[in-house]
Amino acid sequence: MNNTKRNKEKEEEKKRLAKALKQNVLKRKKQQQSRQSRPLSKFVCGEEFLGKSTAEYSNVFENDKITIRNLSFEGGIMPELPEVEVISNFLLDKIKNKQISSVTVNNWNLRVPITKNIDDLLKGKVINDIKRRGKYTIWNTEGSMAVIIHLGMSGKLIYADHDQVRDKHDHVVFLFSDNTSIIFNDPRRFGLVIILSKEQEINFLDGFGIEPLTDEFSGDYLQELLKNKKVNIKSALMDNKLIVGIGNIYASESLFRARISPLRLAKDLTSIECKKLAAEIKNTLSDAIAAGGSTLKDYAQPSGSAGYFQNNFYVYGKVQKPCRICNNIITLIRQNGRSTYFCNACQN
Half-sphere exposure of 332 (CA within 13 A, CB side): 12
290, 284 contact by CB (below 8 A): no
Could you confirm whether 98 is annotated as catalytic?
no
- The closest alpha carbon to 73, from 47, 48, 44, 52, belongs to 44
Q: Is 135 part of the annotated catalytic residue set?
A: yes
CA atoms of 188 and 190, how far apart (whole Å):
6
* CA gap 155, 327 in Å, rounded: 36
**Nearest CA-CA partner of 174 in 72, 105, 111, 88:** 105
Any long-range contacts for 315-319 (C-beta under 8 Å, 24+ apart)? 315/252, 315/253, 315/256, 315/341, 315/342, 315/343, 316/248, 316/249, 316/252, 316/253, 316/341, 317/341
Helix (H, G, I), strand (E, B) or coil at 248: helix
Assess whether 80 carries a catalytic annotation.
Answer: yes
Q: Where are the alpha helices (DSSP H) in the chain?
A: 2-36, 54-57, 81-95, 118-122, 198-205, 219-226, 233-237, 248-258, 271-290
Rounded to an integer, what is the distance from CA 4 to the centroid of its chain?
A: 56
- Are residues 126 and 99 in contact, defined by beta-carbon separation less than 8 angstroms? yes
Query: What is the residue type of 222?
Result: L
Annotated active-site residue in 259, 264, 275, 338: 338
DSSP-assigned letter for residue 308: -
Task: Compute the C-alpha angle 141/40/145, nearest 5°.
Answer: 10
Which of 48, 52, 69, 79 is the catalytic position?
Answer: 79
Catalytic, out of 116, 135, 234, 257? 135
Given the residues 48, 52, 69, 80, the one annotated as active site: 80
Report the C-alpha gap between 17 and 195 in whole angstroms: 51
Strands 338-342 and 145-150: unpaired
Whether 132 sits among the annotated catalytic residues: the reply is no
Task: Enter the DSSP assignment of 267.
Answer: G
Residues annotated as part of the active site: 79-80, 135, 338
